[in-house]
Amino acid sequence: MPVAHAVASGMNGLRAAGDLVARLEMARGMRLAEAKQYVAEKLGTSVADLADPLVMHEVRGERRLGRVFETETTYPDDPSPQEAKRHIATLLGLSIRGAGR
């Protein structure tokens, strides 16, 4: 079920920018188009790039926003989830309670 929906219509979560758009919807009640535009502007990408895992893998790495683990190409210096969430909070202007205080 989750795989079918993810492939059919999902934004790819941490593989792309789905989690960032989701945060704006949940925390601010922002509608999808506005949330996508907001994230794209903050990242300096196009809206179309937000669900593209190749583009977002690079962008997330550069901005230290966290990304999926890769056994073939490890990134030992990538941030921990809590550090990544602090960067996400700063990027999006959100207060993320689980980012560590």
Instruction: Give the binding site for other proteins (CB under 8 A).
Output: 1-15, 18-19, 21-23, 25-32, 35, 47-48, 50-51, 65-66, 68-69, 81-82, 84-85, 88, 94-100
Nearest Cα neighbor of 57 from 12, 6, 15, 10 is 15
Nearest Cα neighbor of 43 from 17, 18, 69, 19 is 17
Smallest gap from residue 3 Cβ to other proteins (A) = 6
Distance of alpha carbon 20 from alpha carbon 16, whole angstroms: 9
Task: Provide φ and ψ at 66, rounded to 5°.
Answer: 85, 145
32-43 and 81-92 are packed helices; what angle lies between their axes, rounded to 10 degrees? Answer: 100
- 11 vs 59 by CB, closer to other proteins: 11
- 33 vs 44 by CB, closer to other proteins: 33
- 5 vs 44 by CB, closer to other proteins: 5
Smallest gap from residue 73 Cβ to other proteins (A) = 15
Do residues 49 and 38 touch, judged by C-beta distance below 8 A? Answer: no
Smallest gap from residue 20 Cβ to other proteins (A) = 9
- 9 vs 44 by CB, closer to other proteins: 9
